[in-house]
């Protein structure tokens, strides 16, 4: 895999395996400060996931898998079976950090299964095996992002401008991102693709992360308030909408950052194709449709004092779901590492997973 | 006109005539501080309009008219003609403060015309005449809001929940507001009407002003991020959308706070009626349609450091139009002090103005 400047830069930023430790770029401090959290403490990883120091469905899965592996390195269990049992406990604990992104459960289940399947090993060998599994989850994600980028880039033409919501870039994954991967790959292919980034209230991942990540990579990016997306579409500036996903139901309904559903409705009204880009680890065949996906509600404080000062009456009612569900019928295609899935999604998703 | 607690409260907050001075509640400091600017200095009024210390199309018109009247009180002109000429200069200066809200020009033209028509008066008498004209603009606005509230309340039923964008309440006018007037009037009539308020980035007028104003008045209000409006509609919680206007073209196209157009598209997609509420002073028969309305662009700083800290890369491109235009075909009715206008708007608006 050829490493471009972009990919190198993102690799530098991304979570990676340090022997026996997790390394997390604290995304709550971006863009003002670039601080890495290096830890082998499971509660520190739990807090990092809960408080969005690491966020983005694939990155959460990677951090969780690495967290389990790292926390076990110092474990004094005298048998593989005892270590495997502890791995299960740690995984169950991390699974409580956030409810919506399915990659978290997917990665933790994979770590639990690896531990259980290898409980006959000596403790030190099992520790190594689990560290390797976490590393494999990370490396497979990088390959998935690359494949998504290549399938997605084929949907874009030189000179296109896309709109994205939240951050599904390198910062949300291991390397190239999901929604932004086609932009990076298109650039490698010599195409110019420009980006409008919704700022994405309340936590401003579009402003703090997407605009920052793309600027750093030298991609032409324009930041807009969320409520400006409709106007930019009306002005004819947007050729496609590209977003990531936190969970995709069996019928193609997509849970993603709050506001995604509204962007999808607006894209439909303006005749703009709306694409979802995500690895198959984001698919949840257990969820028959979007109604089966639990939606996390976040605290009022993120809305009324997100900028460091009170910006609303102190005791006002706030409704702040972290995600919404975009119905499959608004989605032109779901791009995963297996290819470009089209409706009927129940069938194309089953084939991709099969 | 019966004064309710609500109306009394709003009257207390609103701009009012102090003999020889303008009194402006500084809306940039709400909800944390309640500071009144009392001045007879025209440049202070210009800055107050420019920097949104006073905002809302009707309130801008009132503040401008009062600003001209107040600034003339100390004028030493020895003839009515000289004073009238100075009134024209002051009005022309204030007209440069903001480009989109037509009430500003409407109110200033009325002051200029009053000055010109009465240029034969002695200076002191003309000063009194102009102060009375400014007061009349304010009092007529209060009556307009009351009428809009009554016509609008007839569109609402007990138990309804409405969505609003930005602030078109008491703070944007003299008393009851425009978009919020039906909520206040419905309450006087014993109906319960609940409100979802879009926070309205970048300047958060929904969070800082609408949520505050409604909370103070004891109305049930829930604050949401702009990008959550679609989800709230999808959940079936919204019975109608009520917004104000900064300028209404002859064909019924409506310029209002950025994000209004997107809300209108979403309302249409969810089968929710979208109502615009504004006095006829907001109508601009010179603008044949929305394309003729100039849209103010605001500074990147309001988006990337609106709240005291940098929330995006320092030099990122930002696109921040202050307003957008909602096409007439998305609007179920325009409620003005003359009644409820329905399509064809070119005809119903002409009749209302006629």
pLDDT at residue B288 in the model: 98
Instruction: State how far the Cα of B302 lies from the Cα of A201, in Å rounded to an integer.
Output: 15
Q: Which residues contact A114 (CB under 8 A, 6 or more apart)?
A: A129, A130, A133
What would the two tokens of residue B228 be? 């959550």
As a whole number of angstroms, the distance between CA B86 and CA A163 comes to: 50
Question: Which pLDDT does position B63 carry in this prediction?
Answer: 93
Looking at the complex, report in whole angstroms how far the Cα of residue A173 sits from the nearest Cα belonging to chain B. 20
**Best residue of A202, A298, A311, A318 to probe chain B, by most B CBs closer than 10 Å:** A311
Give the residue among A294, A91, A318 at the shortest CA–CA distance from B211.
Answer: A318
| B221 contact residues in A (CB cutoff 8 A) | 316-317
What own/partner pairs with CB < 8 Å and gap ≥ 24 does B35-39 have? Answer: B39/B70
Rounded to 5 degrees, φ, ψ at B261 are -60, -45
| CA distance linking residue A303 with residue B182, whole number of Å | 27
The torsion angles phi and psi of A122, rounded to 5 degrees, stand at -70, 150
Distances (CA, A) of A191 to A153, A154, A158, A184: 9, 11, 5, 9
The pLDDT tens digits of the residues spanning B296-349 come to 999 999 999 877 788 899 999 999 999 999 999 999 999 999 999 999 999 999
pLDDT beyond 90 at B235: yes
- Rounded CA-CA distance B248/B260 in Å is 13
pLDDT on residue B318: 98
Given a cut of 60, whether residue B1 has pLDDT beyond it is no
What's the CA gap between A199 and A354, in Å, rounded? 37
Under a CB-based contact definition with an 8 Å cutoff, are residues A59 and A173 in contact? yes
- Please name the member of A215, A223, A265 whose beta carbon is closest to the beta carbon of B303: A223
Cβ(B272)–Cβ(A241) below 8 Å: no
Express each pLDDT in B3-57 by its tens digit. Answer: 344 444 445 544 455 667 888 889 999 888 888 898 999 999 999 999 999 999 9
How far apart are the CA of A124 and the nearest CA of chain B, in angstroms?
45
Buried b vs exposed e over B62-88: b needs ≥16 C-beta within 10 Å? Answer: bbbbbbbbbbbeeeebeebbebbebbb
User: How does pLDDT run across B204-214, given as a tens digit for each residue?
Assistant: 999 999 999 99
Mean pLDDT to the nearest integer, B190-211: 96
pTM of the model: 0.93
**What's chain A's length in residues?**
354
Catalytically active residues of A, by annotation: 246
Smallest CA–CA distance from A305 into chain B, residue: B307
Alpha-carbon distance of A282 to A148, in angstroms, equals: 13
pLDDT at B16: 55
Cβ-based contacts of B311 with chain A (< 8 Å): 199, 204, 207-208, 307
| Contact: A225, B308; criterion CB under 8 Å | no
Instruction: Compute chain B's Rg from CA coordinates.
Output: 20
State the 10-residue block means of pLDDT for chain A, 354 residues long: 40 56 88 88 96 92 94 95 98 95 94 98 96 93 96 98 96 92 96 98 95 93 98 98 97 98 98 97 96 94 86 94 98 98 98 95
Please tell me the number of Cα atoms within 13 Å of A212 on its side-chain side.
27
Q: What pLDDT was estimated at residue A21?
A: 83
- Residue-level pLDDT at A7: 43
**Which of B287, B271, B264 is CA-nearest to residue B101?**
B287
| B211 Cβ contact partners less than 8 Å away, ≥ 6 residues apart | A312, A313, A316, B31, B197, B221, B223
pLDDT, residue B9, reads 44
Nearest residue to A191 (alpha-carbon basis) of A164, A149, A156: A156
Distance CA A123, CA B210 (A): 61
Q: Domains in chain B, start-ordered, CATH in brackets?
A: 7-145 (1.20.120.420), 147-352 (3.40.50.10470)
Q: Are B170 and B200 within 8 A, CB to CB? A: no
pLDDT digits (tens, 9 = 90+) for B57-95: 999 999 999 999 999 999 999 999 999 999 999 999 999
In whole angstroms, give the CA distance from residue A211 to residue B223.
26
Q: Would residue A300 be called left, alpha or beta, if left means φ above 0 and alpha means ψ between -120 and 50 degrees?
A: alpha
């Amino acid at each position: 895999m050829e490493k471009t400047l972009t990919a190198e830069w993102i690799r530098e930023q991304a979570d990676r395996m340090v022997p026996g430790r997790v390394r997390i770029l604290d995304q709550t401090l971006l863009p003002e400060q670039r601080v890495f959290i290096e830890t082998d403490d499971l509660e520190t990883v739990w807090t990092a996931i809960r408080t969005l120091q690491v966020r983005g469905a694939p990155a959460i899965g990677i951090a969780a898998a690495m967290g389990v592996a790292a926390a076990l390195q110092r474990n004094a269990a005298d048998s593989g079976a005892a270590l495997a049992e502890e791995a299960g406990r740690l995984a169950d604990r991390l699974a409580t950090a956030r409810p919506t992104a399915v990659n978290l459960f997917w990665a933790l289940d994979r770590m639990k299964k690896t531990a259980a399947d290898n409980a006959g090993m000596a403790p030190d060998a099992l520790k190594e095996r689990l560290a390797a599994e976490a590393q494999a989850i990370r490396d497979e994600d990088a390959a998935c992002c690359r494949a998504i980028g290549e399938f997605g880039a084929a949907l874009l033409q030189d000179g296109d401008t896309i709109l994205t919501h939240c951050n599904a870039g390198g910062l949300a994954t291991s390397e190239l991102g999901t929604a932004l991967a086609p932009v990076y790959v298109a650039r490698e292919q010599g195409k110019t693709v420009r980006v409008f980034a919704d700022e994405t209230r309340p936590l401003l991942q579009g402003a703090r992360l997407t605009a920052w990540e793309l600027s750093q990579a030298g991609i032409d990016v324009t930041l807009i308030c969320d409520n400006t997306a409709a106007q930019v579409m009306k002005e004819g500036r947007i050729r496609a909408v590209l977003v990531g996903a936190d969970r995709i139901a069996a019928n193609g309904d997509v849970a993603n950052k709050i506001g995604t559903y509204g962007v999808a409705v607006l894209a439909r009204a303006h005749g703009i194709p709306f694409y979802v880009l995500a690895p198959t680890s984001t698919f949840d065949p257990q969820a028959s449709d979007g109604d089966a996906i639990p939606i996390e509600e976040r605290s009022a404080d993120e809305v009324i004092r997100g900028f460091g000062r009170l910006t609303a009456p102190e005791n006002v009612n706030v409704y702040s779901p972290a995600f919404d569900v975009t119905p499959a019928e608004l989605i032109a295609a779901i791009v995963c590492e297996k290819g470009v899935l089209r409706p009927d999604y129940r069938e194309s998703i089953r084939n991709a997973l099969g």
